[in-house]
Structure 1
């Protein structure tokens, strides 16, 4: 018998003009905190839902908002299928990350007000890693983790606003985040008292995917262990 349950909820946007769905995984006991799982460019697909289920099994309320709802609600793509991977890149090119942070903030409000869980963290992957950084800088979220976040080097001007702990996992062979971008991230954030950076030598983008060809088992286990410890420390 599972010690978790899952369902889909509807969350209002900050301006109240629209709503979006979110996959929610719940522990059977009172959640010790909540974790927002921020999708890659492939939507809230089976891998993202599994991450939610795993957090719920550890006692957290886990929520994955459908951030592409303005373009295609309910989008689920498989990164191992070339046509779908290219489709995801097209969505990424059209997506406005400023909207994403607002929708994540709306999700934070839902967690605290509707679900009644005061402590909230987020963990994001790829596009979600960028959004995790932006969420740390633009909201009052309690803790944030980003895996192979893209374009963070272009957003270092917002680092002064990071008031709560942020951890970033950086694979050194990330073909979407090159050596110059990685060097800029380190130069900009190494001395930030709220930020912790970890490099993963030889690993590529997507190494912590739950399923599929991109996963590197040893790297994923190492990074995920650090993430669990980080949330245990900062969320309880």
Structure 2
């Protein structure tokens, strides 16, 4: 594994995964609510293997969810025993209280923009910067696309978009991925698609019928869907290749 880096002029550390040779661009990989656990580092490594400079910032440690705490919560939440899973819920509510405050959201976006600043200075990136994220991170991938016009492509996985008033600020193409059994997001998707169209955003949604929330996370036997994960990975790479070329 590559070492953690400090993002200049920010509060963030991040995992940096290097491509072999000149990068095809850069990808910001925003973690799930579990924080910067090994699974997210492995996703960054996969992007690096495809030729991208991948940076996965830790935007939860300052809110009280370090990678070790996040891994503990994830282990409880994915346990096969329902009673054990239930014990995770009050603990999660306690640990994630800070992330529900409006001030946290503003802070997180300001810090993610520092990641964009950093990537702009990296050799070979040449402004070719994309963002992806999962669940909590998917929502922040949407939000960063709305907040920073330097982002050239966004690929949120099962994330919620920003308020409708912010959608008009999105200046890059978005390809979003959802599980068909993810009821909350499926219920809101028609309105989201309409709002994106009304704002003139280049928005595409791929829905995997029969897949659940967190279908991409291969460390969670309860939700992982190998077919959906494989197809979405292929589509993400094609999307980035087209938009960052």
TM-score > 0.5 by shorter chain: yes
CA-to-aligned-CA distance 1:22-60 (integer Å, 9 cap, x gap): 000101312111101001100110110000000111111
Change in 2 beyond 3 A, CA 1:108/1:84: farther
Change in 2 beyond 3 A, CA 1:46/1:86: farther
Query: 1:121 aligned to 2:125?
Result: no
Aligned twin of 1:94: 98
Change in 2 beyond 3 A, CA 1:84/1:64: farther
Query: 1:185 aligned to 2:180?
Result: no
- CA RMSD in angstroms, aligned pairs only: 2.2
Contact 1:31 1:117 in 2 (8 A): yes
Q: Which runs of 5+ in 1 are unaligned?
A: none
Contact 1:20 1:65 in 2 (8 A): yes
Aligned twin of 1:9: 5
Aligned residues: 225
Aligned twin of 1:171: 179
Change in 2 beyond 3 A, CA 1:93/1:188: farther
Q: Which runs of 5+ in 2 are unaligned?
A: 78-86
Contact 1:66 1:73 in 2 (8 A): no
Aligned twin of 1:81: 76
Contact 2:154 2:174 in 1 (8 A): yes
Aligned twin of 1:149: 159
**Per residue, is there more helix in 1 or in 2?**
2
Paired with 1:86 and 1:38, the residues of 2 have a C-alpha distance of 24
Give the alignment's TM-score, normalised by structure 2: 0.83
Where do residues 1-236 of structure 1 align in structure 2 (5 Å cutoff)? Answer: 6-12=2-8, 16=9, 18-72=10-64, 74-76=66-68, 77-78=70-71, 79-82=74-77, 87-95=91-99, 96-114=104-122, 117-118=125-126, 119-140=128-149, 141-150=151-160, 152=161, 155-175=163-183, 177-190=184-197, 192-213=200-221, 214-236=223-245
Give the alignment's TM-score, normalised by structure 1: 0.86
Contact 1:125 1:147 in 2 (8 A): yes
Contact 1:162 1:194 in 2 (8 A): no
CA-to-aligned-CA distance 1:9-30 (integer Å, 9 cap, x gap): 1013xxx4x5321000101312
Following superposition, the deviation at residue 179 of structure 1 comes to 4.0
